[in-house]
Amino acid sequence: MSIPLRSLTRTLTRVSRTTHNPSIIRPIVLQTPPHFRQIVSRTPAAAQFSTSPIRLKARTIGQIRARNATGPFSWKSALLFVLTGAGMIVYFRVEKERLERKRVAEMSKGVGKPKVGGPFVMKDLEGRVFTEEDLKGRYSFVYFGFTHCPDICPEELDKMAEIIDKVKEANKGENVFLPVFITCDPARDTPEVLKNYLREFHKDIIGLTGTYDQVKQVCKAYRVYFSTPRDVKPGEDYLVDHSIYFYLMDPDGDFVECIGRQDTPDSATKTIMEHINDWKREGKPLKKD
Amino acid sequence: MGWLSWSSNPGQSSDGGRIAPNRTSRQRCWEARDHFFFCLDNNDIIDSVKGDKDARKKCGKEIAEFESACSTAWLKYFKEKRVMEYNRDKTIERIKKEDAATVQDLKSQGWTAR
């Protein structure tokens, strides 16, 4: 990106140098004043790139001379040149970042690329069936965990709560973001247990649970490692090892990016909002109700 | 005090799940853990699983508090995590020292860092 930018700047400089170079225009003008307008109109490139079209309006040689007396590089044109250049640099940087995010976002859409996410059937805490279709239409934020988790999950869920509020604020209250908590420990995490647990973090978090095989299936789809034993004796105390990432999924249900332990609520919100804004800018459908 | 009864007689939720520790009991467990580990630090005990006897002798009050505030699985987890983190930090320190030594060595041979 930096090379085309540099060559473009170079071209621009060259063009402006040619159009402003008095040695080309002035001698002709002075020697053959009657043809001046013709010369100008015959060179549309000059008219197009010139930052001082007022030249065309000059009627007498005196006016032309007065205008050229300051030279082509007046402070105004220099300022304009610098501002345009700075503007373009900023624009190219922004555009570069956007394309980079787009590349990341579309990486999982291609054929033969690693796919995170996919079909699953679980139940929400009201007992309704919840599948991957229910995630679509909004950006979803999926986290896997279990309620008997000693320290990492609670910390991450506190972070999730902060992210939910920050993203909501950044979207001016639009309901475009769907935070989801999927349990890896269905034997202990029944709807009632999950409901009480999640309520302490954020009311917007949707808790999902299911049978052992359903949980296994969704973890497989999201490439989540978990170590929940299948047959747990009632009352047995155990921990579950599991992957600790947040998965950001786009409204098509495709994986976009991981948010990990190293992210702060602010850096995570920034990443999420960049993707949401890109999606909005491209005019793609997004549920807001 | 839900914790003590919890470990011997698990608190069942009405739909057959197991009631999870809430924010308050988590906080209580973490505080008890920090007190216990502070005592271990003062007595130069890293591994309180292998050094259980020693830990109980020197930090009897703290370990009792820790055990009453956290579930069995959590006790084991935190004790093991302490050892793991200690070893991790030691490894990082060792690598840093080795790096510094290598740089010193290279500098003495006329190499300069850019």
> Contact, A129 vs A123, CB < 8 A?
yes
- Residue B1: closest CA among B14, B11, B15: B11
Predicted confidence (pLDDT) per residue in A105-157, tens digit: 776 665 555 578 889 999 999 999 999 999 999 999 999 999 999 999 999 99
Query: Which residues contact residue A75 at a Cβ distance below 8 angstroms, ignoring those fewer than 6 apart?
Result: none
Strands (E), chain A: 121-124, 129-131, 139-145, 177-183, 206-209, 246-249, 255-259
For residue A43, how many C-alpha atoms fall within 13 Å in the half-sphere facing its CB? Answer: 15
**Separation CA B72–CA B78 (nearest Å):** 10
- Whether residue A227 lies within 8 A of chain B, CB to CB, comes out as no
Longest distance between any two alpha carbons in chain A, whole Å: 105
Q: Chain-wide mean pLDDT for chain A?
A: 80
**Separation CA A123–CA A130 (nearest Å):** 5
Query: Does position A199 have pLDDT exceeding 90, yes or no?
Result: yes
- Whether residue A197 lies within 8 A of chain B, CB to CB, comes out as yes
**Separation CA A224–CA A242 (nearest Å):** 7
Give me the residue spans of the domains in chain B: 2-87
| pTM of the shown model | 0.68
Judged by CB atoms closer than 8 Å, whether chains meet at B22 and A200 is answered as yes
Judged by CB atoms closer than 8 Å, whether chains meet at A188 and B30 is answered as no
pLDDT of residue A99: 87
**Separation CA B97–CA A56 (nearest Å):** 73
Query: Which residues contact residue A252 at a Cβ distance below 8 angstroms, ignoring those fewer than 6 apart?
Result: A109, A136
Query: Does position B96 have pLDDT exceeding 80, yes or no?
Result: yes
pLDDT of residue A112: 53
> Contact, A259 vs A277, CB < 8 A?
no
pLDDT of residue A71: 63
Q: In percent, how much of chain A has pLDDT > 70?
A: 73
**Separation CA A238–CA A188 (nearest Å):** 10
- Mean pLDDT in residue range B52-62: 92
For residue A42, how many C-alpha atoms fall within 13 Å in the half-sphere facing its CB? Answer: 6
pLDDT of residue A129: 95
Predicted confidence (pLDDT) per residue in A24-82, tens digit: 444 444 444 444 444 444 444 444 555 555 555 666 777 767 666 666 668 888 899 99
- Whether residue A212 lies within 8 A of chain B, CB to CB, comes out as no
Interface with B, mutate which of A147, A155, A158 (most B CBs under 10 A)? A147
ipTM value: 0.77
Closest approach of A261 to chain B, Cα-based (Å): 16
**Chain A environment of B77 (Cβ under 8 Å):** 150, 239
Q: What is the DSSP letter of A215?
A: H
- Whether residue A228 lies within 8 A of chain B, CB to CB, comes out as no
Judged by CB atoms closer than 8 Å, whether chains meet at A192 and B15 is answered as yes
Domain A121-281 classified CATH 3.40.30.10? yes
Give me the residue spans of the domains in chain A: 2-107, 121-281
